[in-house]
Amino acid sequence: MTKRQSDTTQSLLNALPDTNAPIYARLKSAILENIGSSTWLPEQRLPSESEMVKALGVSRMTVNRALRELTSDGVLIRQQGVGTFVAPKKAHSSLFEVHNIAQEIADRGHKHTTKVVELQTVKANTDQALRLGLRTGERIFKSTLIHFENQHPIQLEQRIVNTTLAPNYVEQDFTQLTPFAYLNKVAPITEGEHLVEAVIPNAAEAEQLAISTHQPCLQIKRRTWSGQTIVTSARLLSPGHLFQLFGHFGRP
Amino acid sequence: MTKRQSDTTQSLLNALPDTNAPIYARLKSAILENIGSSTWLPEQRLPSESEMVKALGVSRMTVNRALRELTSDGVLIRQQGVGTFVAPKKAHSSLFEVHNIAQEIADRGHKHTTKVVELQTVKANTDQALRLGLRTGERIFKSTLIHFENQHPIQLEQRIVNTTLAPNYVEQDFTQLTPFAYLNKVAPITEGEHLVEAVIPNAAEAEQLAISTHQPCLQIKRRTWSGQTIVTSARLLSPGHLFQLFGHFGRP
DNA sequence: ATTCATGTAATGTCTATACAAGTTAAGCAC
DNA sequence: GTGCTTAACTTGTATAGACATTACATGAAT
């Protein structure tokens, strides 16, 4: 006389991946899957540890580890004596995204295009090596792009890239996928750093952006990490009152 | 015939706090203490789990939990079959600091002073409540300050603050300690969000900053979190080419 | 000398159990 | 009904032991 699983427990079992990863990791995956697919909603209660133990046939310490780690990541909320719940939607969840100019332009209902000015492999000079945490003379990728919004140039993007983390960088078609999007795909961002100032463009930059050298620009120098390694260092130059959004790079 | 502890194990025992916190938490504290005080240096090897088990008289799972959590925090590096090590100094550690205008001015060898324009308790309007993740009508603190560098106004700071996390905010003397420094002391920052744009000040703001309404300013809207709660939301307005630095808020 | 096998040590995972501590609801005394 | 006690359930922590996986050093066989 087996008692039927609750729907919540059943959806947990359904989402269990069939890999050879450790049990606790598969349980974490299954929980994240249910939350990510909105099968489990914010504030919703999860099965208790003992229910999971019975349903999965594993020990409580294993279940406990999965739940504890997800709690530490802010995915779940646990209260002693009460239960485990999907964490409420964060007030700033929509701001977790990092600035992506293509998306931003699309959000405004405008058309985004890109012109690739330069895309090649070079040897790092001292400054470039410092920015990427490499040694002078090591091979790096270097690119220069101009982003257009409805035919108007709105951002100049100069970027250097770590070759080990993105070995196929120079073969990409950046008129289709922005460097940022590509890099975040091959080496997901875990941390970032921004340096922002208002600057005056030099003559070449002003020409590329089709503005005068008196027009103040917002300059962002951004470095992004994937784990402990620096993926890329970029300098973004945008004339006028362009709106910029920076987030903290958290879980997706 | 007791074998003498290694120096590393001994310094671990010495740093064990005498609280009634859980064992694993006290072990974490002791390890962090040794790293923080540079008793243990980056790359240095820690005692193995079994050594700690013997030295502390606890079970291996308890030691394992402490080490695993510190590894997840990036404090330690573990390698199966080899050992546990203090994590190498991060390449970008010096950029972990968040922008602090007083420090920045001091770094330039200039004198920083503050004028408190406004400091009071108000009821949150809809916009303010949204920014702090509260409900309209709840009590919040509100402050307006002007920062001076050698008698020149260089930044206008408008800020609202969560009363529950910083109940004594309005009693502080912000000519001595900046609101940012005070808030970071009472509710340490764990996350932040920035909105940056180049704007033109309105007449009142231009007057407070002693500039013309044609002078472009860098506007930063910053919100900071302590855990899951929003501590404060600030709007910083700086004329000219002021240099701004944003970091990722990591462990201290 | 080189290669291979083996043993040792270290971390990684998992189990079964135990007790502590917080929460909630039912039931009892009044 | 009110208030208290108690029981059941939940999460938090800790233990002792087991086996797996990885790395490395040592020594044997070639």
Residue A248: pLDDT over 50: no
Confidence at residue A2, expressed as pLDDT on a 0 to 100 scale: 40
| Average pLDDT score over residue span A88-96 | 45
Provide the percentage of residues in chain A whose pLDDT is more than 70: 80
Distance CA A113, CA A136 (A): 34
- Torsion angle of C-alpha atoms B112, B115, B119, B125, degrees rounded to 10: -90
Whether A199 and B245 lie within 8 Å, measured CB to CB? no
Provide the percentage of residues in chain B whose pLDDT is more than 90: 39
Q: What residues have CB less than 8 Å from A49, skipping those under 6 apart? A: A60, A63, A64, A67, A84
Nucleotide nearest to A63 (CA to C1'): C14
Helix pair angle (A23-36, A60-72), 10° resolution: 50
Nucleotide nearest to A26 (CA to C1'): C13
- Give the domain-ending residue among B52, B67, B86: B86
Q: Any CB–CB contact under 8 A between A191 and chain B?
A: yes
Residue with smallest Cα–C1' gap to C11: B80
For residue A45, what is the domain's CATH number? 1.10.10.10
Confidence at residue B119, expressed as pLDDT on a 0 to 100 scale: 94
Same domain, residue pair A115 and A189: yes
Confidence at residue A220, expressed as pLDDT on a 0 to 100 scale: 77
Asked if the Cβ of residue B20 lies within 7 A of any atom of strand D, the reply is: no
Confidence at residue B145, expressed as pLDDT on a 0 to 100 scale: 95
Q: Where are the beta strands (DSSP E) in A9-131?
A: 76-79, 83-86, 112-123
- Quote the tokens at residue B190: 């764990």
Confidence at residue B205, expressed as pLDDT on a 0 to 100 scale: 92
User: B26 φ, ψ to 5°?
Assistant: -70, -35
Whether B92 and A230 lie within 8 Å, measured CB to CB? yes
C-beta separation of B119 from B174 below 8 A = yes
Residue A90: pLDDT over 60: no
Domain-embedded: residue B69: yes
β-pairing, B139-149 vs B152-162, is antiparallel
Q: What residues have CB less than 8 Å from B46, skipping those under 6 apart? A: B8, B12, B31, B40, B67, B76, B83, B84, B85, B86
Chain segment A52-87, per-residue pLDDT in tens: 999 999 999 999 999 999 998 788 999 999 999 998
Q: Choose among A87, A192, A195: nearest Cβ to B248.
A: A192
Confidence at residue B217, expressed as pLDDT on a 0 to 100 scale: 74
Confidence at residue A129, expressed as pLDDT on a 0 to 100 scale: 84
Task: Give strand C nucleotides closer than 7 A to any protein Cβ.
Answer: 9-18, 20-24
| Average pLDDT score over residue span B127-149 | 86
Asked if the Cβ of residue B48 lies within 7 A of any atom of strand C, the reply is: yes
Same domain, residue pair B82 and B112: no
Neighbour tally for B26: CB within 10 Å: 19
Q: What residues have CB less than 8 Å from B47, skipping those under 6 apart? A: B6, B8, B9, B12, B55
Whether B244 and A192 lie within 8 Å, measured CB to CB? no
pLDDT-based confidence at residue B201 (cuts at 50, 70, 90): confident
DSSP SS3 for A209: helix
pLDDT-based confidence at residue B1 (cuts at 50, 70, 90): very low
Among A97-106, B71-80, B123-132, B239-248, the least confident range: B239-248
Distance CA B220, CA B157 (A): 10
Residue B245: pLDDT over 60: no
| Range of the structural domain that residue A79 is part of | 7-86
Please report, rounded to whole angstroms, the spatial distance between the CA atom of protein residue B59 and the C1' atom of nucleotide C6.
30
- Quote the tokens at residue B186: 């009472």
Same domain, residue pair A97 and A82: no
Same domain, residue pair A158 and A182: yes
Confidence at residue A72, expressed as pLDDT on a 0 to 100 scale: 87
Domain-embedded: residue A198: yes
Same domain, residue pair B77 and B99: no
Confidence at residue A136, expressed as pLDDT on a 0 to 100 scale: 77
Burial class (CB in 10 A: 0-12, 13-18, 19+), B47: buried
Residue A3: pLDDT over 60: no
Same domain, residue pair B191 and B100: yes
Whether A92 and B225 lie within 8 Å, measured CB to CB? yes
Same domain, residue pair A204 and A180: yes
Domain-embedded: residue A112: yes
Same domain, residue pair B150 and B216: yes
ipTM comes to 0.64
Q: Any CB–CB contact under 8 A between A249 and chain B?
A: yes
Distance CA B92, CA A226 (A): 13
Confidence at residue B227, expressed as pLDDT on a 0 to 100 scale: 64
Same domain, residue pair A62 and A152: no
Which has more pLDDT, A72 or A250? A72
For residue B247, what is the enclosing H or E element? none
Confidence at residue A98, expressed as pLDDT on a 0 to 100 scale: 45
Which has more pLDDT, A133 or B16? B16
C-beta separation of B75 from B32 below 8 A = yes
Chain segment A95-137, per-residue pLDDT in tens: 233 456 776 677 667 888 899 999 999 988 888 887 887 777 7
Residue B247: pLDDT over 60: no
Q: Any CB–CB contact under 8 A between B192 and chain A?
A: yes
- Give the domain-ending residue among B29, B51, B86: B86
Same domain, residue pair A56 and A153: no
User: A112 φ, ψ to 5°?
Assistant: -105, 130
Distance CA B39, CA B28 (A): 15
C-beta separation of B73 from B251 below 8 A = yes
C-beta separation of A221 from A232 below 8 A = no
Distance CA B236, CA B218 (A): 8
| Average pLDDT score over residue span B189-212 | 77
Confidence at residue A51, expressed as pLDDT on a 0 to 100 scale: 94
End-to-end CA distance of chain B: 42
- Give the domain-ending residue among B86, B106, B137: B86
For residue B144, what is the domain's CATH number? 3.40.1410.10
Q: Find tokens 């310490």 and name the residue.
A: A61
Confidence at residue B176, expressed as pLDDT on a 0 to 100 scale: 87
Q: Any CB–CB contact under 8 A between A92 and chain B?
A: yes
- DSSP bridge pairs for B197: B219
Burial class (CB in 10 A: 0-12, 13-18, 19+), A19: exposed
Q: Any CB–CB contact under 8 A between A130 and chain B?
A: no
Domain-embedded: residue B251: no
pLDDT-based confidence at residue B174 (cuts at 50, 70, 90): very high
Structural domains in chain B (count): 2
Q: Choose among A196, A240, A249: nearest Cβ to B196.
A: A196
| Average pLDDT score over residue span B30-37 | 90
C-beta separation of A97 from A90 below 8 A = no
Handedness of CA B224, B226, B230, B232 (dihedral sign): negative
Most distant CA pair in chain A, distance = 81
Asked if the Cβ of residue B79 lies within 7 A of any atom of strand D, the reply is: yes
Whether A196 and B218 lie within 8 Å, measured CB to CB? yes
Confidence at residue A164, expressed as pLDDT on a 0 to 100 scale: 82
Same domain, residue pair A37 and A102: no
- DSSP bridge pairs for B136: none
Same domain, residue pair A75 and A97: no
Q: Find tokens 């005056």 and name the residue.
A: A200
Residue B135: pLDDT over 90: no
C-beta separation of B83 from B37 below 8 A = no
* Closest C-alpha among B229, B115, B208 to residue B165: B229
Residue B215: pLDDT over 90: no
Helix pair angle (A60-72, A49-56), 10° resolution: 130
Chain segment A161-220, per-residue pLDDT in tens: 998 888 889 999 999 888 988 887 777 666 666 666 666 788 999 999 998 877 667 777
